[in-house]
Amino acid sequence: MSMEMALEEARLAAARGEVPVGAVVTGPDGGVLARAGNRVEAERDASAHAELLAMRAAATRLGTARLVGCDLWVSLEPCAMCAGASVHFRLRRIVFGAYDPKGGGVEHGARVFGAPGCLHRPELVGGVRESESAGLLRAFFAGRRGVD
């Protein structure tokens, strides 16, 4: 259900003209604390990624700077910036949909959690509803290029 909500947020982001990435933060009990889609263009803020927006909102809701015992569900492998932020938020687990060989920072690129000085390493689960997540991205960018 949480990945479905992340995909819903990704679809809403695409409808706003944003890269279709959605994220949900669930608490230790599995309840939804926050959800968000990319808002980079709307907020004119390169850091307004779905993951950061959802983590910030969840922390605000809990009244704490740490999301200990919480999970992040995101439709795309987090970039290095979002992975780094998740370290400081102390997430328990990150579950993501599509892998991102070009911009990912978890299984690709910087591989933030594999760095020797990484302060915290959340559990990772990748490829959840991968084809649906990747399909949203392919359709979005094909539309931008005018390709069907």
| Contact (Cβ atoms closer than 8 angstroms) between residue 65 and residue 96 | no
11 DSSP assignment: H
CB under 8 Å to 49, separation ≥6 — which residues? Answer: 21, 23, 38, 40, 79, 81, 82
Element (H, E) at 98: strand 93-98
Place of tokens 């978890």: 106
Q: Phi first, then psi: give them for residue 27, nearest 5 degrees.
A: -85, 180
Catalytic residue among 4, 18, 43, 51: 51
Active site residue 123: no
CA-based angle 89:42:39, to the nearest 5? Answer: 30
69 DSSP assignment: T
- Catalytic positions are 51
